[in-house]
Amino acid sequence: MFYRDQGNGIPLVFLHGFPLTGDIWDPQIKALSAKARVIVPDLRGFGNSGVTSGTYTMELYAQDLKKLLETIGINKAVLAGISMGGYIAFAFYRLFPSSVRAMVLLDTKAGADSEEGKKGRIALAQRARSGEMDKIADEWAGRLFAPSTIKTRPEIVRTVRDRVLNTSPEAIANASLGMMERQDSTPLLGSITCPVLIMVGEEDRLAPAEEAKAMAAKIKNARLEIIKGAGHLTCLEAPEAVNESMLKFLSEL
């Protein structure tokens, strides 16, 4: 597993979304490594980390993360997960609750996939393995951002498209199937005792603000922030707002 580890202070682990890499957190690394020890892995199959066979379940990713933290001597950390990274944070909390100091959940949701959503995951896996990566990259670049971002900041849209295009088709298939199999984390929400910051882009079409509001209502120590002018990748679309909120949240832990 490839990872970056820099800064000093409270351990803060950034978990990227699908089908991306740890690079999406670059704006946060710069802002937060002065206040925290920032650990940013490329998840199994993505970026500079190795591709393995078999389904990448959220529990497998959580176990990967636990091994990484043990290797670098961290017993308890703040988990910041966006989209699929949020699914992994929930799985990690289920498996290792005493290792979680707090959570930051960005543009994610607690529920499992609908039947229609599961069919879409299977279709995506099949398309990736059959060589449709150009079309997949175009589709995801269009879905991840707010319409205003696509119109005014085409450079970050191109960057994300290239990142998707350069991802292993096998990794995309394996992770897509892993998300399809993920547990419904809604029953978990009421038992979460650590502080939680929830952020969502106002224009997020993949994990709408209504999902974030529902999570915040069920988690005892949750704080909700809706980020204007952002879609599903708030960390890239509105980095200043995300950084400010995270710095405030960390200062209160």
> With contact defined as beta carbons under 8 Å apart, do 80 and 51 qualify?
no
- What would the pLDDT profile of 5-16 be if each residue is shown by its tens digit? 999 999 999 999
- What would the pLDDT profile of 180-221 be if each residue is shown by its tens digit? 999 999 999 999 999 999 999 999 999 999 999 999 999 998
The DSSP code for 200 is: E
- What would the pLDDT profile of 104-124 be if each residue is shown by its tens digit? 999 999 999 999 999 999 999
Spatial distance between the Cα atoms of 207 and 202, rounded to a whole number of angstroms: 10
Joined tokens for residue 49 = 């980390």
What CATH number is associated with residue 79?
3.40.50.1820
Continuous H helices in the chain: 26-32, 58-71, 84-95, 115-129, 133-144, 147-152, 154-165, 169-180, 186-189, 209-218, 234-237, 239-251
Number of structural domains (the chain) is 1
- What would the pLDDT profile of 1-42 be if each residue is shown by its tens digit? 999 999 999 999 999 999 999 999 999 998 999 999 999 999
**Cα→Cα distances 187→6, 89, 90, 113, 190, Å:** 35, 15, 11, 15, 7
Full residue range of the structural domain in which residue 30 is found: 3-251
β-bridge mates for residue 6, sequence order: 38
Report the pLDDT value the prediction gives residue 221, as an integer from 0 to 100.
85
